[in-house]
Amino acid sequence: MNATSASTAVKVIGSNGQISLGKQYAGRQVLVEEQEPGVWLVRTATVVPDNERWLLQPEAAAELQRALDWAQANAADDGNVDAVLTRLADEDD
């Protein structure tokens, strides 16, 4: 068992088939596992969409961290916007 204490509560399943777990869980995603008929395990979860799963790969995470570090060390500067726009326009030609 983890550091949090276990608790038991009696809940009534409403006519719509729902139960309330409390406001502290409002908006959270949960996994509901039916272990056997009438026995459910409910766990909070963070779901990662398939098209974003690549971000969890070690190489992608390291590259993203390097980019974030660079962005923190290099303040945004719009001093050469015209030159950048000209260069980008030339690349399109």
For residue 6, give the DSSP letter.
P
Domain that holds residue 83: 50-92
28 inside domain: no
For residue 4, give the DSSP letter.
S
Q: Is the pTM of this model over 0.75?
A: no
Rg (CA), the chain: 25
- The structure tokens listed for 93 are 């030609």
Q: What distance in Å separates the CA atoms of residue 86 and residue 90, rounded to the nearest whole number?
A: 6
- The structure tokens listed for 87 are 């260069």
10 inside domain: no
Q: What is the pLDDT of residue 6?
A: 80
Q: What distance in Å separates the CA atoms of residue 44 and residue 62, rounded to the nearest whole number?
A: 27
Which of 71, 87, 15, 1 lies closest to 63 in space, CA to CA?
71
31 inside domain: no
The number of distinct structural domains making up the chain is 1
pLDDT tens digits for the chain (93 residues)?
Answer: 456 678 888 999 999 999 999 999 999 999 999 999 999 999 999 999 999 999 889 999 999 999 999 999 999 888 889 999 999 999 877
17 inside domain: no
57 inside domain: yes
